[in-house]
Amino acid sequence: MITSKFIFTAIILIVTSSVFGQSKRWYSDDQVKQGQHLFQKKCAKCHGVNAEGEPDWRQTDENGEYPPPPLNGLAYARHHTLDQLRQQIQVGSGMAKGEMPAFINKISTTDIDAVIAFFQSKWTDAIYQSWKTRQLVSATKHLNIDEAPKQHPGTYWLKQHLSGAKVTHGKPMKTPVKGIREVKVNNDYVYLSEDGRYAFTGHMIDLSNGSDLTVLNQATETKRLLQTYSIKDMLIYPAQGKERAQLTIFTDTSCSFCRKMHKEIPLLQSEGVSVHFIPYPRRGLDGKGYAELKSIWCSEDPVLALSTYIDERVLPDLRENCKNTGAVDAGYQLGNSLGISGTPLLILENGKRIKGYKTASKIISTMNIPLEDM
């Protein structure tokens, strides 16, 4: 990742075309099928049949080695390029602290690609898209500069280069930096030289006041997208007394940090924060989280059902002819268009994001709200 710092003063809002729906992937269904077979034979005993990994993959075991991590998009595999993934499979743990064998002379390169296709098919669109944008840096595909149209060649190239990526239509937006334009690719921002030949990713920082303009752009876009989700579909835990702030949380009850997060809610409420929950099944529409969220959101009293599930792990039965079935699907789509890569995801009123579990006092200090009695 090339991080560039530029002085930049305007905030630009880019409106993208509809970002819902399955994005185009680099592999075919046949590759996934072939990969599934191989994965079960060669990888599943360590990484799990659905590539879910070991639950405690973040910590070394008693021998000081790392257990097999998830490859389903919820761990670090999404930070590696395609070549890095191929290489990891070929050389195995090597010098790293782990027990993964090398597959270099055991599986053909075609089969390695198929295995990757299989575990990437478990990635949600949001995770796949942000992975795709990152490929920009390491892409090896060469394009003919003369093929690009005179108008906005950069956007044209990005589209060709990252086939299947969602590149903002129309012309790239100006930035306060002379000659540097900005386009939204999937859920990230990419900066382009005037002739469109050079692209770089990273954050634009206004050094005069330290503000991160890329994050501000993303926050503005997040706020706009959040408004597309019906407030009626959110589960609301209102502030006690006067409301001083609102917090939106994307949650998945099958995620243990989300359940832990939930225990902080009474504290937030007592400090004047209203908490709005949006369901986000992080494993997609066929995972455990989806079924759980659906039966909670569909129940007669969803707020009670959510709290009961957190405290007692008892789920209401999924009601027939439930009116609220669309809430979880819509939450999933919204989360994908925001590029969520994990839960819980907290969103402040200004659209800024806080990733992962945080204590109530930490959240309140980030909110920067004047709380008389604190």
Asked if 48 touches ligand HEC (CB under 6 A), the answer is no
- The answer to whether 267 contacts ligand HEC (rule: CB under 6 A) is no
Interface residue with ligand HEC, options 4, 87, 90, 93 (CB under 6 A): 93
Choose the stretch contacting ligand HEC; rule: CB under 6 A; options: 5-13, 91-99, 173-181, 325-333.
91-99
Spatial distance between the Cα atoms of 64 and 199, rounded to a whole number of angstroms: 41
DSSP string, 107-152: S-HHHHHHHHHHHHTTS-HHHHHHHHHHHHHH------GGGS-SS-
Name the residue nearer to ligand HEC (CB basis): 89 or 348: 89
Burial class of residue 161 in the structure, from the number of CB atoms within 10 Å of its CB (0-12 exposed, 13-18 middle, 19+ buried): middle
Which residue from 185, 171, 251 is spatially nearest to 217, judged by alpha carbons? 185
C-beta nearest to ligand HEC: residue? 98
When binding is defined by CB under 6 A, the residue of 25, 42, 244, 353 that contacts ligand HEC is 42
Are the beta carbons of 72 and 126 closer than 8 angstroms?
no
Alpha carbons 142 and 139: distance in angstroms, whole number: 8
Distances (CA, A) of 218 to 133, 245, 372: 15, 20, 31
| Residue indicated by tokens 């609301």 | 236
Q: Which of 12, 32, 74, 100 binds ligand HEC (CB under 6 A)?
A: 100
Q: Which of 7, 14, 46, 82 binds ligand HEC (CB under 6 A)?
A: 46
Residue 66 touching ligand HEC (CB under 6 A):
yes
Cα separation of 179 and 157, whole Å?
17
Show the binding pattern over residues 163-182: x = contacts ligand HEC (CB under 6 A), - = does not.
--------------------
| Nearer to ligand HEC among residue 91 and residue 215 (C-beta) | 91
From 20-28, 92-100, 251-259, 358-366, span contacting ligand HEC (CB under 6 A) = 92-100
> Does the footprint of ligand HEC cover residue 342 (CB under 6 A)?
no
Check binding of 68 to ligand HEC (CB under 6 A).
yes
Could you tell me which residues come within 8 angstroms of residue 216 by beta carbon, excluding any fewer than 6 positions away?
A: 11
Residue (16 or 93) nearer to ligand HEC, CB: 93
Site membership for ligand HEC, residue 31 (CB under 6 A): no
What 3-state class would DSSP assign to 209? coil
The answer, yes or no, to whether the previous bond of 344 is cis (omega within 30 of 0) is yes
Q: How far is the CB of 34 from ligand HEC (least distance, A)?
A: 13
Q: Indicate whether 247 belongs to the interface with ligand HEC (CB under 6 A).
A: no
Residue ranges binding ligand HEC (CB under 6 A): 42-43, 45-47, 66-69, 71, 75-77, 85, 88-89, 93, 96, 98-101, 103, 115
